[in-house]
A = this chain, B = another copy of it.
Amino acid sequence: MKNYKLIIQYEGTKYSGWQSQGNTTNTIQAKLEGVLCKMLGQPVEIHGSGRTDAGVHAKGQTANFKADTKKTKEEILEYLNTYLPQDIGVVHIEEVPLNFHSRLHAKKKTYMYRIWNSEIPNVLDRRFLYHCPQKLDIEKMKEASAYLIGQHDFKSFCANKRMKKSTDRIIYKIDILKIGDEIQFIFCGNGFLYNMIRIMVGTLVEVGEGKRKPKEMPTIMEAKNRELAAGTMPAQGLTLLNVQY
């Protein structure tokens, strides 16, 4: 038995997410398992570093699966990329120790949320951007984002109201970059709660619009109440960039 680690890219537009909570098989995980099963002639379970929601993209999702095969890793990679749909691709494969688990051993994850902040459209990148025509104040959003860095209880930024496990997380870094008319929010943390990044970005955008003040952030966080933060931003702006081990 061997354990393989994969790095996977996908455009999430058409999918119900990495792994569905319901019965649908329209997930990235199901597509990968389908091709691996076809290749190996037996059911294979693939473990992602975490779920990405419906519509969220990935440049570096990480997953692992165990299999007993004589194929080389190059052959597995080629087979996967031949039979996967065009919007899913495997960019790296390596053999890892049998005890490696892509979710349990993940140390840091980096996500990017992209906003197109202009009145004119961005046609070519539209699938990966959220279009916000109203000008956002970058400096105010940077000031607000500083309050989120560090170890905190992020319950106010968690969409799962029945979350029983700890809602403590560490955010190591938040970069807010302005590149032409595009704003990129880059979050690096030890893990993120359900919809956490999309709710944080929604709240930062309200700061950027002048609807909230940067210094409200600690109050929102300390309340541990989802009602105080802003709405959840659309999935299409979000991309999982990489997972570190």
Which A residues have a C-beta under 8 Å from some C-beta of B?
Answer: 9-11, 57, 59, 77, 81, 86-92, 120-124, 126, 128, 239
Copies in the complex: 2
A207 to B82, CA, bound (A): 27
- Which B residue sits closest to A93, measured CB to CB? B120
B88 close to A123 (CB less than 8 A): yes
14 A-B contact pairs sorted by A residue (CB < 8 Å)? A9-B121, A9-B122, A11-B123, A57-B124, A77-B120, A81-B121, A86-B123, A89-B121, A89-B122, A89-B123, A90-B120, A90-B121, A91-B121, A92-B120
A122 to B91, CA, bound (A): 8
Contacting residues, chain B, for A121 (C-beta < 8 A): 9, 81, 89-91
Q: How far is the CB of A242 from chain B (nearest CB, A)?
A: 14
For the A-B complex with A86-B126, A91-B120 known, give 17 more contacts whose Cβ atoms are closer than 8 Å.
A9-B121, A9-B122, A9-B123, A10-B123, A11-B124, A57-B124, A59-B124, A86-B123, A87-B123, A87-B126, A88-B123, A89-B120, A89-B122, A89-B123, A90-B120, A90-B121, A124-B239
Q: How far is the CB of A77 from chain B (nearest CB, A)?
A: 8
- Which B residue sits closest to A77, measured CB to CB? B120
With A86-B126, A126-B86 already in contact, the answer to whether A120 and B59 are too (CB < 8 A) is no
Contacting residues, chain B, for A123 (C-beta < 8 A): 9-11, 86-89
Contacting residues, chain B, for A239 (C-beta < 8 A): 124
Chain B CB within 10 Å — which of A59, A90, A123 has the most?
A123
Contacting residues, chain B, for A86 (C-beta < 8 A): 123, 126
Contacting residues, chain B, for A77 (C-beta < 8 A): 120
Contacting residues, chain B, for A9 (C-beta < 8 A): 121-124
Q: How far is the CB of A134 from chain B (nearest CB, A)?
A: 14
A123 to B124, CA, bound (A): 15
- Which B residue sits closest to A80, measured CB to CB? B121
Q: How far is the CB of A5 from chain B (nearest CB, A)?
A: 15
Q: How far is the CB of A79 from chain B (nearest CB, A)?
A: 13
Contacting residues, chain B, for A120 (C-beta < 8 A): 77, 81, 89-92
Q: How far is the CB of A183 from chain B (nearest CB, A)?
A: 18
Q: How far is the CB of A130 from chain B (nearest CB, A)?
A: 14
